[in-house]
A and B are shown apart, each in its own frame.
Chain A
Amino acid sequence: MNYKNLLDFTIKNMNEAGADKAQCVITSTEKHELNTENKVVKLFRTTKENNILMSYIKDNKKSTQNINKIDEESIKNTISELVSLAEVSPADEAYDIAPKVDPQTFNIGTNEPDLDTLYDLLDQFNQDLNEKHSTITGDATISYDHVKKYVGNSNGLYLEELTGNYNFTMLFSAKDGEKITSFNYTFASFTDLKQKLTDVGMLEELLIQTAKELEAKPFDSKFVGDVIITPICLSNFLSTVAGVSLSDGALLSDTSLLKDKVDELVFSPKLTWHSSPRNPELSGGYAITSDGHVAEDITILENGVLKNLLISQYGAKKLNRERSKNYGSAFVVEPGDASFDEMVKSIDKGILLCRFSGGQPSANGDFAGVAKNSFYIEDGKIQYPISETMISGNLFEVLKDIKSITKDRVNFGNSIVPWVHSTGVTVSGK
């Protein structure tokens, strides 16, 4: 299949249908996936799919359509619908397409899957679970995903992004008799199969922690104290901060508290946070933004000073601001100089927050939820695992009051993040 020809055909037909501006993204995805059910490989799934996303703009009116058919008749029929959709839409001068740049092909990861090794890796993992983590129960998925993306438009833009990587996720808990723990999970993207699955996504550490949680006790008091935010939890919190204060949605709805704070100190000077989709250490990165620009690495926060928002081309035009070089994810947080042990030793009363189960925090950063898979810290020691414990606070205040950041970080393939020690959270039990 010549996707370039398909792209050209689609754009040509959109132009002939009257588009002032037309943009098209064709994605071809092939997945080979193995699934386990409690340490038994039960399902082998192979899927192939094409997707065409068309954006049509005429008289500043825009419509978009996705189809998964690549025959000419389907494309032409879809373009007719696009024209009708756009005609009845309100005009907005902010609608636009990406400018032309030199054609480029980006290769990320590996194009040749090794499915036999993939099975063997999973099989070995199941054996490791049985031998070394016998109380652990859960389902795992490992896949090879090959994604080919072709982006073109009526400005003459042409970009290709060819990505191939392995993706692993596992949802698990520990059970011993009638004792059972909360479920835990991890995920990771990687291109190197010469490693054990327990080495990815801090899985080995999580399996050991989860087994300890069989002795979890409900927390029976309430205090305001310190928190050590683990890497998975930090990734999720940073995604939340991006969503409620840095991205298009928050800026356009005028609910962002950081919208006018570029070049101001907004969080702790200890925190430097990048969005680095082009970082070669990230096998799950990307090279092209969702609106067809070549993505570049940016620093969101430098020593606590806000350096970049995450504004798309549409958002930039709407808000009369500069477009960001990428729109988030692929987070990399700079390491600090603390060790995890030093962090724990410095805490009088606090919580090791391994997973936060809660709703989307408010636009003002308030959050309240359950501290899952977490541990109580007192007098410089991790005392015991806790259950049925709520944690609340304000995310922005937590990031302002950072006391230290670890040297060590975890590479999940789509983020590289450390442990962070902060304070000012309310921990309450029954």
Chain B
Amino acid sequence: MINRDLNIEFSKLDKYTEVRLQENKQSTLVLLNGNLVTNNQSSTSGACARVYANGCWGFSSDQNTDEKSINEIIAVAKKNAEFLASKTNNDFKPFSSEKITSNHDFSTKEERWSHDKKVKFLNEIDEYITSKYSDLVSRTIVLNSLDMEKNSINSDGTTSYLLWPRTILYINLATQNDGVPCEMYEVLGGKGQVEDVFTTPDTIFSDIDKLYVELQKKNEGIYAVAGEHDVILDADLAGILAHEALGHTAEADFVRNGSIAGDYLNKQVASPLITLIDFANTYNNEILPVPVFIDDEGVLSKDAVLIKDGILTQYMHNRDSALEFNHENTGNARAMQYSDEPLIRMRNTAIIPGDSKLEDMIASIENGYYFTKTNNGQADTTGEFMFGVCAGYEIKNGKLGKAIKDTTIAGKAFDVLASVTMVSDEMKWSAGGMCGKKQPIPTGMGGPAIKCRINVGGK
């Protein structure tokens, strides 16, 4: 059992020690052209310990969470730390110590759906698609639920319990044009177990109708013209821009390894219209998609104001980097599995809304693009970024024109953010994202729409 008192005698341990119990439960149903090709549940749970010795970390984990096993992994972690410490002359400074407590449980209070109900939910969505849109080549519907439950304690006496669930419904439709396939997807859902995120299938039907229309337009669409253009990035893309373009360069481990953000602290790096924050758990009194209250090192999680009015003001830290840089620790350390060590990760990253209306932003462009969906993104130490755009439209004389086939946009974070001239007044959050960095982990992204100049790949 994860949620229980961890009676660890820290007084007997002569080194800073953390212990975390964690369980990840996942359920995946995949309906591919009406065939249930995946009907899987998984559960991974265990305990881990991290020990700090003279600037080195030792880590050990085991799937058993009884007291004996926990004592064994603490012993192995200590041995590993001391092995490294014996080989090095790392600087050693003690961490600041703060005893805090947090307890959050986002599990549903509703009656749990049976597995039968989940399968029927998907089948009804599939039947709606096939009955209304018989010209599709294929349809894929995925219902994925992830519950992450963590219980941590450390030498400071800090204790933290969090049960964070996420439920995502992914729908992908494919058609073709002269034998050439064309696809479009939609992601629905977010924080919460399925009972709190979805109700009945008919509430999804209008999203499917919208998706089908987008698909048809893309199927008859055109390729973007390669080169630099005026572009409106809608919320999904503004969110991934905040995460990929700026966010990763401001993670202190990347800064330590020479990322561009290391040379620009307290300097103007973006338009004064841009304020960009990695939120810990709350915005406008709303709990965010991936809330972190105490991170996996037992540090209080705080908002990291990365850019304020265009000035780079802060990095995201863990214990080691906060000490090294002599900065405030923002509590950004997170681990995906019980067997993973905490790494510096983003939480809920977003540009703050401005004052403009989206229709005015589109009307302001003579010849450019309005991009609305992305299917991936990658960052770089130089601040260069790239992400795939799988939905969008050309803008001609201030009006939306033809849909665009798959393309890619890229640029340098600071250049693109400096080119922003309008920021919309709406904020949208998404929780379906995964960030890769040794361990793939869920992250939240959000934003308004922004107008900027960006390099577009095309023909």
Whether B380 pairs with A46 at a CB distance below 8 angstroms is no
A89: chain B residues at CB < 8 Å are 36, 39, 119
Chain B, 16-55, CB within 8 A of any chain A CB: 32-33, 35-46, 55
Binding site for A on B (CB under 8 A): 32-33, 35-46, 55-63, 76-77, 80-81, 83-84, 87-88, 90, 114-116, 119-120, 123, 137-138, 140, 174, 179-183, 226-228, 253, 256-260, 263, 320, 339, 341, 375-376, 378, 380-382, 384, 386-388, 390, 405-408, 410-412, 438, 455-459
The CB with the most chain A CB atoms within 10 A, among B39, B76, B386, B390, is that of: B39
By beta carbon, the residue of chain B nearest A216 is: B382
Q: A181-B381, A364-B180, A370-B386 are in contact. Are A390 and B32 (CB under 8 A)?
A: no
Q: Is A63 positioned at the interface, with any CB of B under 8 Å from its CB?
A: yes
Nearest CB of chain A from residue B172's CB, rounded to whole Å: 8
- Docked complex Cα distance between A67 and B408 (Å): 39
B33: chain A residues at CB < 8 Å are 252-254
A35: chain B residues at CB < 8 Å are 341
Nearest CB of chain A from residue B323's CB, rounded to whole Å: 13
B227: chain A residues at CB < 8 Å are 222, 428
Nearest CB of chain B from residue A376's CB, rounded to whole Å: 17
Q: A363-B183, A388-B410, A390-B226 are in contact. Are A68 and B35 (CB under 8 A)?
A: no
B174: chain A residues at CB < 8 Å are 253-255, 363
Chain A binding site: helix, strand, loop or mixed by DSSP? strand
Chain A, 42-85, CB within 8 A of any chain B CB: 42-51, 62-69, 81, 84-85
Whether A357 pairs with B386 at a CB distance below 8 angstroms is yes
B181: chain A residues at CB < 8 Å are 255, 257, 362-364
- Docked complex Cα distance between A183 and B92 (Å): 29
Q: Is A173 positioned at the interface, with any CB of B under 8 Å from its CB?
A: yes
Q: A45-B80, A252-B37, A363-B181 are in contact. Are A67 and B43 (CB under 8 A)?
A: yes
Q: Pull 29 A–B residue pairs with CB atoms less than 8 Å apart, ordered by A.
A: A35-B341, A37-B256, A38-B257, A43-B84, A43-B341, A45-B80, A47-B59, A49-B61, A62-B39, A65-B42, A66-B40, A66-B44, A85-B39, A85-B41, A88-B119, A90-B35, A141-B438, A180-B258, A222-B226, A222-B227, A253-B32, A254-B137, A255-B138, A359-B375, A364-B180, A369-B388, A369-B457, A370-B386, A387-B382
Among A49, A92, A388, which residue has its beta carbon within 8 angstroms of that of B46?
A49
Whether A318 pairs with B35 at a CB distance below 8 angstroms is yes
Whether B256 pairs with A38 at a CB distance below 8 angstroms is yes
Nearest CB of chain A from residue B80's CB, rounded to whole Å: 4
Nearest CB of chain A from residue B306's CB, rounded to whole Å: 18
- Docked complex Cα distance between A429 and B412 (Å): 12
- Docked complex Cα distance between A391 and B408 (Å): 10
For the complex of A and B, the 5 pairs showing the least CB-CB separation, nearest first, are A359-B388, A368-B457, A175-B258, A66-B42, A88-B116
By beta carbon, the residue of chain B nearest A85 is: B115
- Docked complex Cα distance between A183 and B32 (Å): 37
Whether A388 pairs with B455 at a CB distance below 8 angstroms is yes
Q: Is A41 positioned at the interface, with any CB of B under 8 Å from its CB?
A: yes
Nearest CB of chain A from residue B91's CB, rounded to whole Å: 10
Nearest CB of chain A from residue B108's CB, rounded to whole Å: 19
Among A41, A388, A391, which residue has its beta carbon within 8 angstroms of that of B412?
A388
- Docked complex Cα distance between A68 and B83 (Å): 29
Whether A48 pairs with B39 at a CB distance below 8 angstroms is no
Q: A43-B56, A69-B63 are in contact. Are A358 and B45 (CB under 8 A)?
A: no
Whether B37 pairs with A314 at a CB distance below 8 angstroms is yes
Q: Is A397 positioned at the interface, with any CB of B under 8 Å from its CB?
A: no
Among A182, A362, A429, which residue has its beta carbon within 8 angstroms of that of B380?
A182
Nearest CB of chain B from residue A21's CB, rounded to whole Å: 15
Q: Is A372 positioned at the interface, with any CB of B under 8 Å from its CB?
A: yes
Whether B253 pairs with A37 at a CB distance below 8 angstroms is yes
**A-B contacts besides A45-B58, A369-B388, 20 pairs, CB < 8 Å:** A41-B87, A42-B57, A43-B56, A43-B84, A44-B84, A65-B43, A67-B43, A123-B87, A182-B380, A182-B382, A252-B138, A253-B32, A253-B33, A253-B137, A359-B375, A368-B457, A392-B226, A392-B458, A428-B226, A430-B228
A364: chain B residues at CB < 8 Å are 180-181
By beta carbon, the residue of chain A nearest B56 is: A42
A141: chain B residues at CB < 8 Å are 438
Q: A47-B60, A390-B455 are in contact. Are A88 and B32 (CB under 8 A)?
A: no
Whether B406 pairs with A88 at a CB distance below 8 angstroms is no
Whether A41 pairs with B41 at a CB distance below 8 angstroms is no
By beta carbon, the residue of chain A nearest B59 is: A45
- Docked complex Cα distance between A90 and B118 (Å): 12
Nearest CB of chain B from residue A122's CB, rounded to whole Å: 10
- Docked complex Cα distance between A68 and B263 (Å): 45
Q: Is A426 positioned at the interface, with any CB of B under 8 Å from its CB?
A: yes
- Docked complex Cα distance between A65 and B38 (Å): 11
Nearest CB of chain B from residue A351's CB, rounded to whole Å: 14
Q: Is A178 positioned at the interface, with any CB of B under 8 Å from its CB?
A: yes
The CB with the most chain A CB atoms within 10 A, among B58, B63, B81, B88, is that of: B63
By beta carbon, the residue of chain B nearest A71 is: B64
By beta carbon, the residue of chain B nearest A51 is: B44
Among B35, B59, B123, B410, which residue has its beta carbon within 8 angstroms of that of A390?
B410
- Docked complex Cα distance between A40 and B257 (Å): 12
Whether B386 pairs with A362 at a CB distance below 8 angstroms is no
B380: chain A residues at CB < 8 Å are 182-183, 357, 372
Whether A359 pairs with B406 at a CB distance below 8 angstroms is yes
A84: chain B residues at CB < 8 Å are 115
A429: chain B residues at CB < 8 Å are 455
A62: chain B residues at CB < 8 Å are 36, 39
Nearest CB of chain A from residue B322's CB, rounded to whole Å: 14
Whether B88 pairs with A255 at a CB distance below 8 angstroms is no
Q: Is A3 positioned at the interface, with any CB of B under 8 Å from its CB?
A: no
Q: A366-B406, A387-B382, A428-B457 are in contact. Are A43 and B183 (CB under 8 A)?
A: no
B412: chain A residues at CB < 8 Å are 388
Among B35, B77, B378, B457, which residue has its beta carbon within 8 angstroms of that of A252?
B35
Whether A182 pairs with B381 at a CB distance below 8 angstroms is yes
B60: chain A residues at CB < 8 Å are 45-47
Nearest CB of chain A from residue B116's CB, rounded to whole Å: 4
B38: chain A residues at CB < 8 Å are 64
Q: A45-B60, A173-B258, A359-B406 are in contact. Are A430 and B41 (CB under 8 A)?
A: no
Nearest CB of chain B from residue A17's CB, rounded to whole Å: 16
- Docked complex Cα distance between A249 and B116 (Å): 25
B36: chain A residues at CB < 8 Å are 62, 89-90, 92
Q: Is A139 positioned at the interface, with any CB of B under 8 Å from its CB?
A: yes
Nearest CB of chain B from residue A111's CB, rounded to whole Å: 20
Among B37, B39, B390, B455, which residue has its beta carbon within 8 angstroms of that of A63?
B39
Q: A49-B63, A137-B257, A369-B386 are in contact. Are A392 and B408 (CB under 8 A)?
A: yes
Q: A364-B181, A370-B410 are in contact. Are A44 and B56 (CB under 8 A)?
A: yes
B339: chain A residues at CB < 8 Å are 47, 49
B55: chain A residues at CB < 8 Å are 42
